[in-house]
Amino acid sequence: MFEAFHFIRPWWLAGIIPAVALAWYWLRRTQTGSGWESAIDSELLSVLLDVTQTRSGKWFSGLLVTALFVAPIGLAGPAWEKLPQNVEQREDTLIILLDLSLSMLAQDLRPSRIDRARQEIVDVLRLRVEGQTALIAYAGDAHAVVPLTDDVATIENLLVSLSPEMMPVFGSNPDHAITLAHELFENANVLQGRILMITDGVDSLGDVSRHRNAAFPISVMGIGTSSGGSIPLDRLRQPGRTLRTQEGNQIIAQLDDVRLREVADLGFGRYEEARVGDGDINALLATPLPSEDETIEVEREFDTWADQGHWIALLLLPLALVAFRKGVFVIIVLIPFMPTENAVAQPPMVIEAEQVDSLWDSLWQRKDQRAWQKLREGHPEFAAALFEDPQWRAVAQYRSSDFSGAFVNFAQDPSTSGWYNQGNALARLQQYEQAIAAYDHVLAQLPGHEDAKFNKALVERLLEEQEQSDQQSEDDQGQSSDQEDQSQEDQEQDPGDEQQESDEQQQESEQQQEQEGEEQEEAEAQETESRDEKQEALEQWLRRVPDDPGGLLRRKFSHETKQRLREGDYSHTQGDKLW
């Protein structure tokens, strides 16, 4: 505690300086007394002046000076421990639309337009202090590379893999990209955000104007030069060749900054041409939003120093009461007679220390706050009694092994999380079939729910083992019944043969034990060998798994395009213009 002790706002300690000056002035004045002491005889002065009033005034002045010393310490914020605090961040949401049409392969900007665009995106990510960011790649159709997230490192790692040749549909369709961006905003419940298009051209103004919305301004960063450049096909396995028209004329991709500036104006955004330095990026990121001060709470906590200055305020409270001493005692007398809610006479009772602590905490914390504290302290059974929210109560009941109560409360949540938690509670209750049904319900809504898949497989294995155990018990009961019948038959045999049969049985038992021991050793050796073979096969399989994110994104884009075609969406098929 003493090692961590410090002041959060140490500059408030400068307030002690005027307190020292006032204390010196007060001591000097009280020691010298009033001017009457030097002019009037002491015997007559005692009759003329009220000495008790003078002493009370000195006492009260001393309290005031003490308060002046203590108050700056409380304002300085003494602290010696850290407490978790919820994190809020400014609602600065940005979705980047990266043009991956073939014209981005032009090399009028070195090394190429696509390389320069990737560098600009990296600079954008590193300049953003807070907020969520998403990345969408588009050519003839659009695909979400990374949804809205504050993990910009993931976006930066995937940028290297993005290139025009990986797109399943050639062309340039910003309309689909902006539509997909608005879907990401809607899924994240974002009421305002910026869209940044990084492109070298837009063929139709209508692709952007139909999405114009002041709450979601569309800014544009132009990549390329007005003189333009040819489109090499080296990356398309045609080295040395460039993209040409059907007549054989070489295509020159030029940057139309006039049209792009018009696109940004229609979308309530700004236009900047990519240039060296951060000026272009800062201008685009500063595109105004209707409300610049919106904040959202994120599902994350961080530890902050707990300001303990309020204890100084409690010390100064009696002084404040004395300062307003007129009528203070009347109020204190009337406090016991003030009405309270549901005032009912209660019989005398003995209150335990833990109850006193709970009563004291209830003066400063709500029930849910005390329940959360009990849950963190490892007392889930107390937390379950305090939580009013059924889902938090279910969590506390689950942690206190009250799985039946947890299931009842989890059942009140119809979401996938509620069904997943129901499955966990049912699994704990060994109701495996019902648990599998709950996991199936989750996977029907979220097929990619990895935890539900894992838990379902685990419960299915437990159910299989339970069924095998039940079957083994039935077989053992049947075998025991056969042995009892055999025993009865043996008892009916001639007593003279019992000794001989006993010896034979003992010899057979010893042989059987030896044989079982050899079989068990052989089975363990085979099991160890099989486990080693499985481990080696698993490692070989893992070594064969490709770690190229570009290949994964290529397959993802292709799968999404085929899925759209299967659903009858032919609006994003190949057009006449390839670049």
Q: Over the stretch 99-108, which tens digit does the pLDDT of each residue have? A: 999 999 998 8
pLDDT of residue 262: 93
Residue where a domain terminates, one of 28, 52, 81:
81
**By three-state DSSP, how is residue 382 classified?**
helix
* Residue 428 falls inside a structural domain: no
pLDDT of residue 147: 92
Q: Do 259 and 151 fall into the same domain? A: yes
Number of structural domains in the chain: 2
Of residues 105 and 570, the one with the higher pLDDT is 105
Q: Do 56 and 167 fall into the same domain? A: no
What average pLDDT score do residues 223-227 get? 92
* Residue 140 falls inside a structural domain: yes
- Side chain identity, residue 190: V
Distance CA 459, CA 229 (A): 61
What is residue 82's DSSP assignment? Answer: E
* Residue 213 pLDDT level (bands cut at 50, 70, 90): very high
pLDDT of residue 505: 61
* pLDDT of 346 strictly over 80: no
**By three-state DSSP, how is residue 469 classified?**
helix
* pLDDT of 256 strictly over 70: yes
Share of the chain above pLDDT 90, in %: 20
* pLDDT of 395 strictly over 60: yes
Q: Lowest-confidence range among 275-279, 514-518, 534-538?
A: 534-538
CB 159 within 8 A of CB 115: no
* Residue 49 pLDDT level (bands cut at 50, 70, 90): low
Q: State pTM to two decimals.
A: 0.48
Of residues 93 and 340, the one with the higher pLDDT is 93
Q: How far is CA 366 from the centre of its chain?
A: 24
C-alpha separations of 8 from 17, 58, 74, 202 in Å? 19, 34, 10, 53
Residue where a domain terminates, one of 250, 282, 299:
299
Q: Do 240 and 266 fall into the same domain? A: yes
C-alpha separations of 528 from 376, 503, 518, 525, 533 in Å? 43, 38, 15, 5, 9
Of residues 524 and 133, the one with the higher pLDDT is 133
pLDDT of residue 378: 80
Residue where a domain terminates, one of 240, 273, 299:
299
Of residues 376 and 141, the one with the higher pLDDT is 141
Q: Do 16 and 74 fall into the same domain? A: yes
Question: Which residue has 């003066």 as its token pair?
Answer: 363
Q: Do 122 and 229 fall into the same domain? A: yes
* pLDDT of 552 strictly over 60: yes
* pLDDT of 73 strictly over 60: yes
What average pLDDT score do residues 483-488 get? 54
pLDDT of residue 75: 83
User: CATH number for the domain including 209?
Assistant: 3.40.50.410
Query: What backbone phi and psi angles, to 5 degrees, belong to 231?
Result: -110, 100
pLDDT of residue 337: 47
Of residues 224 and 413, the one with the higher pLDDT is 224
What average pLDDT score do residues 419-435 get? 88
* Residue 220 falls inside a structural domain: yes
Q: Do 250 and 187 fall into the same domain? A: yes
Q: Do 108 and 27 fall into the same domain? A: no
What average pLDDT score do residues 179-192 get? 92
What average pLDDT score do residues 517-538 get? 65
Q: Do 34 and 160 fall into the same domain? A: no
Q: Do 73 and 108 fall into the same domain? A: no
Token reading at 173: 């369709």
* pLDDT of 292 strictly over 70: no
Where in the sequence is the domain holding 68, given as residue range(s)? 6-81
- The CA-to-CA distance between both ends of the chain, in Å, stands at 66
The DSSP bridge partners found for residue 524 are none
Of residues 98 and 295, the one with the higher pLDDT is 98
* pLDDT per residue as tens digits for the range 121-132: 999 999 987 789
* pLDDT of 386 strictly over 60: yes
Q: Do 40 and 180 fall into the same domain? A: no
Q: Do 106 and 208 fall into the same domain? A: yes
- Side chain identity, residue 227: S
